[in-house]
Structure 1
């Protein structure tokens, strides 16, 4: 993975825990629910660069008629997607604040098909672990753990789940 190139394209460094997730797992889905975005994925839906550009455009249009979340009212604050929820339109973002080191970024969940945002004061790996183990304090992912009640967690690569590349 060429992290230096990815960070140049995005205009920012990325959190170390995210890099470790990508290097360990690559693009794919946790427990058939949370898809990890990866730089230069062969699958457009899983590509960090493609999804960042798409989400930036969608959110710019959205905020012409909806109020931004309070966390984004700070000058220079923005969001950067790192994952999405299967079948819901919901995205997980980092809250990128000016002057803040990427390892200090926290998670914002947007329900995708509505105006609600949920802030979590943790990084992406800790949040993902909390979601998968049912310990996340969230209105949105509680159903995942209650419905699945997994005794073991699964990660499937995008290739295993989606088949041949869709680019």
Structure 2
């Protein structure tokens, strides 16, 4: 049984199918190939919040808080501000072409998670890393979306 199948057994998806996502367009806009398990999760559940804790972002969501593109831009801005204020940039993010992409995030007071992917890689091949409060904390994890749901 896959992790998605186990999740579906615990938390059935909405009866109405979520809107279709143009994955090719989303990946072109982001400059990366998104994880297959992430795509299946979004295709099964759509965007939204699980148990007021895990936020599932989807490309072109009608809600900015759940829109993968909007959240990527917001986190790019937050990180740029942090580094401009003197926060040390993790060595792995110094490589040209590194992208910081939000994954499904678990939001609790003072905590949120996301992931980054190194140049020449994809979230499906890694390496990926979780972060806390938009600042990379450097803990690496296996590729794909599943680690982001249970990390941090």
- Shorter-chain TM-score category? 0.7 to 0.9
Gaps of 5+ in 1: 141-167
Partner of 2:88: 67
Q: 1:77 aligns with which of 83, 86, 98?
A: 98
> Do residues 108 (structure 1) and 129 (structure 2) align?
yes
Instruction: For 1:10-21, list aligned pairs within 5 A.
Output: 10-21=30-41
Gaps of 5+ in 2: 1-20
Alignment length (residue pairs) = 131
Provide the aligned C-alpha RMSD in A.
2.3
TM value normalised by structure 1: 0.67
> CA offsets per residue over residues 60-93 of structure 1, 9 Å max, x none?
1111210112321233222111233335464433
Is the 2:117–2:128 contact (alpha carbons within 8 Å) kept by the matching residues of 1? Answer: no
- Relative contact order: is structure 1 or structure 2 higher (C-alpha 8 Å, sep ≥ 6)? 1
TM value normalised by structure 2: 0.72
Partner of 2:5: none
Instruction: For 1:1-167, list aligned pairs within 5 A.
Output: 1-64=21-84, 65-88=86-109, 90-112=111-133, 117-128=137-148, 131=150, 140=152
